[in-house]
Structure 1
Amino acid sequence: MSPEATIKRQFGHRARLSLSPAAVLRADGQAHAARTMWNLLHAWWQMMPKEKRTLAHADAAIRQARQDIDFLAVLPAQAAQAVLKTYFAAWKSCWEGRADAPKFKGRLRAVMSVDIPQGRDLNITRVHRRWGMVNIPMVGRVRFRWTRDLPVAKHANRENRITGARLTKDALGWHIAFRVQTLETAPEPHQGPEVGIDVGITVPIALSDGETYEHGAWLTGKEQAQLLHLEQRAAQRRQSRKPGEPISRRLHRTYDRIAGLRAKAKRRALDWQHRTTTSIARTYGTVVVEALTITNMVKSAGGTVDEPGKNVAQKSGLNRSISGEAWGRTVTMLTYKTAQLGGTLHKVPAPGTSRRCSACGVTTPGNRESQAVFVCKNPDCGWSGNADHNAACNVLHLYRMGLALIPAAGRAVVRRAKRVKPATAR
C-alpha cells in the first residue's frame, strides 16, 4: 500500500463501562483525587511568584503533595502528570484568548474524570460481539460496551493503536473515551450531488432538494411528567431549606434523578444527530451550510437596569430551543463525516438567506409571512412555498455563486471562486 493511498486518522470513541460497586468506588476516588490535584495546583499557582510558575516547579510540588496527602495516592502517577499538563494547557489557552482563566473545581459542579495518557496500559481485548475488556490502572479489568472495531492489544502497531483514554462520569454512570489513531485508505472523491442545508427549530434540518429531517420529543409523555414532578419536588425542598443549611440527601437524590432523565434525553438527541448526519454525508458529495454565530443568537434579551429588554420570556424560550437543537454539533459531525467519506463541507454567509426568494432572487421585507410559509412580495414573481426549503436553496445558490467562507486570522472571509467564461461561438 503506497503512502499516497493512505491517510492517518485520529478520532475519539466513547463507550459505556460496566463497573462493579467496588470498582465504582475506586474510580470515584481517583476522580476526586484528580479534582483535588487540580485545586492544589491552582492554589500553588496563585501563591507562587511569576518567575517560579514553571512546569518543573509544579511537577516537584505535586510529587511532594502525593507524599504528604495520603488519599492522593489512589491517583496513578501518570494521571497526576496529565492533570499538570492539562492545567498548564488551560493557562496557555487563556493567554492566547481562546478561553477563560482556570478556576477552582467544586465538588458538585465539576465533571468527574480521570485521564489515562498511555494507551499501552489499557490492553484492550474483545470478549464477544457485545462486550470488550480494558485494563484501567488501579481499578482492574473492566468490561465496556463494544459498538465499533478498535485496535485490540495483539493487533496494535504504530499506525493502528489506542494512544490513550479518559474516564468520565455522568448521570448514566462511568464511560471511557478512547483516543484512536489509525492508518486508513484515502477515500475516493464523493460523486454525490450538491445540497444546501437550512437548520431551524420547527424543522431541525431542511435540504435544498426538499428532503427534511425531523424528530419528536426526546422524552416520552410519562418521562416528561416524571421530570416535571421531580423538578417541582426539588423546588419545594429548596424552599423549605433554611438559610445556610446544607443540602439534604433527599434533595441530592432528586437532583440525581433529574440529571438522569436529562442525560437520557441528550443521549437520544446525539443518536438522532449521528444517524441523520451519517445519512447526509453518505448521500451528498458537497454539503453547504450557513456560517451562524450561535453565541450571538442565544444572548439574553434582559438588557440593563436603565434600558431593560423587551419580550424577555419569549427570547429565553427561543434561546432554549436553539441550544436544544445543537446546530453547532450538527455542523461538526457533518464536517468530519463528509471528509471521511470523500465529500466536502462549505459555509456561506447567513444574512438574507431566509428573506431572499429562491425563484426570482429578490429580497423584500416581509417575504416570510410565518415560520413555515414563504410568499414572495415581488409583483412580478409571487412564488410561495416552504420557508425552510427556500432558505436551503438560497444557501446552495450562494455557494454556486462562489461565495464561500474560509477562516483567515480567526475570522471568516468571503472567497469568490474564479469562474471560467464559456467560449463564444464563432
Structure 2
Amino acid sequence: MLTGRRYRVEFTPEQVEFAEQVGGICRSVWNTALEQRRAYRERGAFIGYAEQCKQLADAKQDFSWLTNAPSHCLQQTLKDLDQAVKTHGTWKVRWRSQRKWSPSFRFPDAKQIVVERVGRRWGRVKVPKFGWVRFRWSRPLGGVLRSATIVRDGRHWFMSFLVEDGQATPETHPGPAVGIDRGVVVALTTSDGDFHNRPFITGGEAQRHRRLQQQLARTREGSNRRKRVVAKLGTVMRRVRLRRADFNARTAATLTSRYGTVVLEDLATKNMTASAKGTVEQPGSRVAQKSGLNKAILDKGWYGLELAVNNAARYTGSKVIKVSAMYTSQTCSACRVVDAASRESQARFACTSCGHVEHADVNAAKNIKAAGQAVSGRGDLAVGRSVKRLPPRPRARQHAAPAVRGIPVLQGREEVKW
C-alpha cells in the first residue's frame, strides 16, 4: 500500500532561493488557473485539466519565468487544482496567499528521482533542476518510490516521499470492539476505562507564546519586526503541532493493534469550531466562551486522531465505524435511559433512573461502542441511515399479489372471487 516518508533536507543557499522561486511560480499557476475556472463558470462554460495544460505550454512562450520551474511540478499543480475542484467545487477552493501559504510542490515522475544513502545519518536525492539535495536519513524508505514533495515548514525544508511498501491490508482483525469518546479535558477515553491524554505545550512555552503575542500586537503590519515575531510564534507552535501528531499516531497504533473494531463519534469538527455570531463587546454574546471551546477542541486534535486511526487501520485490518453523537453523553450505559440531569458534571455520571454511577467519559464511550455494534450487526451502510432491527423486505415481495383467500373484486356488476 502507499505510505509516506518525511525527511528534513539541507538545502544550500542557492537551492533555498530556487525552492522559494519554484514555490512562488506554482502558487501563481494555481491562482491563475483557479481564476480562469471561476471566470468560465460565471458564463456557463467549463475548462478542465487538459485544456489548462495546453494553455500553460503556450504561456511559457510569452512568460519566460514559467520555464524556471520544473514542468512536471506545474502540471501537478494543475492536477491538484482539478482534484480539489472535483471534491469541493470551484467556489470553495481557496486562493494560495503569499503571506499565509507555505511553498510546496511535487515531483510526480519517479523515473526522474534518484535516492542514495551516503552515510549512517545522511542521504541524498536528485530531482529535476535542483541537482543533488542532502537530507537526514532518519529512517529507511522501505518501498518503491512513487513521487516526492518539497515543502517548507517554518525555517526548515522537508521532502516527503510517497512509496509503495508492498504490504496489504489484512481481511479481518480478531480483536474485540472498543468505543472512543473524545473530549476537551481528556483527549481520548475508551469504553474499557483507559484514558489517553498528554499536554502538548509546556508552561514555559505557554508563557513565551503569550509574550510573543503581546509583541505581535505592538508591531506594524508588514514590518520586518513583525515577520520575526511571527517566525518565533511559528517555532513554538510547530513543536506543539508535532507533539500532537505524535500522540495521535501512537494512540492510533495502540488502538488498532489491540482492537478489531474502533467506533468513533461522527463529529463535524469544522462546524463545531466555527466562531459564534456577534462581538465580545456585545451584551449577552458568548463569543469569548465559544472561542475558548474552539481552542480546546483544536488543541486536542480530534480530526487528526480520526485520520491517524484510519491510516493505522490499513495495516491491522481493524474496522473503523462512525456513529451519531446524539445523546451519547446523556444516556445511561446500564439501563439506556436518556436524561440530561444524569450528567452531573464533566467527569461524573449518575443515572437518575437506576442509580448507576460512572465516569462520564467512560459511560459515553460505552454508549458509542453499543451504537457501533448495533450498526455493524444490522447492516446499515452509513451513519445517516436509520438503524433497523430487521432488514427491509425486498421490493418484489412488498408488491406481490395477495394470496387466494376469497377477496371480492368488483368487475362491472358481478362479484368475482380469486
The answer on 1:320 being equivalent to 2:312 is no
SS of equivalent to 2:344: coil
2:335 aligned counterpart, secondary structure: coil
Q: Distance in 2 between matches of 1:52 and 1:214?
A: 49
**CA distance in structure 2 between the partners assigned to 1:13 and 1:164 by the alignment:** 11
Q: What is the rounded CA distance, in whole Å, between the counterparts of 2:74 and 2:133 in structure 1? A: 21
AA partner of residue 257 (structure 1): K
What amino acid is the match of 1:314?
Q
Per-residue deviation, 1:29: 1.3
Distance 2:56 2:76 in 1: 11
Distance 1:67 1:290, change over 3 A: same
| Shift of residue 275, structure 1, vs aligned partner | 1.0
* Gap change, CA 1:183 and 1:137, over 3 Å in 2: same
1:214 to 173, 190, 197: 197
Quote the residue 2:63 is aligned against: 69
CA distance in structure 2 between the aligned counterparts of 1:18 and 1:196, rounded to whole angstroms: 43
Give, as a single letter, the amino acid of the residue that structure 1 aligns with 2:348. Answer: V
* Aligned-residue offset at 1:292: 1.8
Distance 1:400 1:93 in 2: 31
Matched position secondary structure for 1:215: coil
Could you tell me which residue of structure 2 aligns to residue 227 of structure 1?
Answer: 209
Cα drift, residue 128 of structure 1: 4.1
For 2:362, the aligned partner's letter is H
For the 8 Å contact 1:126–1:132, the answer to whether it is kept is yes
Query: Which of 55, 76, 81 matches 1:87?
Result: 81
TM-score, normalising length: structure 2 = 0.83
Distance in 2 (alpha carbons) for counterparts of 1:51 and 1:362:
56
Deviation at 1:126, TM superposition (A): 2.8
Work out which of the residue numbers 226, 249, 263 in structure 2 matches 1:274.
249
Question: Secondary structure at the residue paired with 1:412?
Answer: coil
Q: How far, CA to CA, are the matches of 1:44 and 1:394 in structure 2?
A: 50
Counterpart of 2:103 in structure 1 is 112
> Which secondary structure state, in structure 1, belongs to the residue aligned with residue 173 of structure 2?
coil
**How many angstroms does 1:13 deviate by?**
2.9
Matched, 1:398 2:371: yes
Paired residue for 1:389?
362
Change (3 A) 1:416 1:163: farther
Instruction: Report which stretch shifted further, 18-27 or 364-373.
Output: 18-27
Deviation at 1:47, TM superposition (A): 6.4
Query: Residue 349 of structure 1 corresponds to which residue in structure 2?
Result: 324
Q: Any unmatched runs of 5+ in structure 1? A: 1-8, 152-159, 239-245, 420-426
* SS in structure 2 at match of 1:169: strand
Separation (CA, whole Å) in 2 of partners of 1:202 and 1:46? 43
| Deviation larger for 10-19 or 260-269 | 10-19
Task: State whether residues 169 and 314 of structure 2, in contact with CA within 8 Å, keep that contact through their aligned partners in structure 1.
Answer: no
- Residues 302, 308 of structure 1: 8 Å contact kept: no
Aligned residues with identical type, % of pairs: 32
Tell me, yes or no, if the aligned pair for 2:116 and 2:124 is still in contact at 8 Å: yes
Q: Is the 8 A contact 2:244 2:301 kept in 1?
A: no
**1:330 counterpart SS class:** helix
User: Which residue in the other structure is 1:11 paired with?
Assistant: 3
Taking the aligned partners of 1:187 and 1:47, their CA distance within structure 2 comes to 47
Deviations 1:4-47 (A, max 9, x none): xxxxx122333222222222112111111211222333455566
Please tell me the residue identity of whatever aligns with 1:72: L
- What do the CA deviations read for 1:190-229 (whole angstroms, capped 9, x no partner)? 222221111101111101111110111x222222222111
Distance 1:353 1:315, change over 3 A: same
Q: Secondary structure at the match of 2:213?
A: helix
Please state if 1:165 is matched with 2:141: no
Kindly report the root-mean-square deviation, in angstroms, between the aligned alpha carbons of the 2 structures. Answer: 2.8
- Alpha-carbon separation, structure 2, partners of 1:201 and 1:142: 42
Contact 2:105 2:151 in 1 (8 A): yes
Q: What residue number does 2:335 align with?
A: 360
The residue identity in structure 1 corresponding to 2:16 is V
**What is the alpha-carbon distance in structure 1 between the residues aligned to residue 16 and residue 318 of structure 2?**
42
Counterparts of 2:105 and 2:32 in 1: how far apart (Å)?
Answer: 16
Following TM superposition, by how much is the alpha carbon of 1:112 offset from its aligned partner in structure 2, in angstroms? 0.9
Aligned residue identity for 2:100: R
Shift of 1:51: 5.7
Q: 1:182 aligned to 151, 161, 165, which one?
A: 165
Q: Using the alignment, how far apart are the partners of 2:284 and 2:163 within structure 1?
A: 48
2:124 maps to 1:133? yes
CA contact (8 A) 2:186 2:196 kept: yes
Q: How far apart, in 2, do the equivalents of 1:352 and 1:256 lie? A: 43
Letter in 2 for 1:231: Q
Counterpart amino acid of 1:13? R
In structure 2, relative to structure 1, the CA distance for the partners of 1:126 and 1:415 (3 Å cut) is: farther
Q: Structure 1 pair 253/343, CA: closer, same or farther in 2 (3 Å)?
A: same
Structure 1 position 198 matched with structure 2 position 181? yes
2:277 is equivalent to residue 302 of structure 1: yes
Q: 1:195 to 1:51 in 2, by over 3 A?
A: closer
Shift of residue 175, structure 1, vs aligned partner: 1.4
CA distance change for structure 1 residues 350 and 224 in 2, over 3 Å: closer, same or farther?
same
Contact 2:11 2:133 in 1 (8 A): yes
**1:241-275 residue CA offsets vs partner (Å, 9 max, x unmatched):** xxxxx611111111111112112210111111111
CA distance in 2, matches of 1:416, 1:183: 40
Structure 1 residue matching 2:342: 3-state secondary structure: coil
CA 1:398/1:234 → structure 2, altered by over 3 Å: closer, same or farther? same
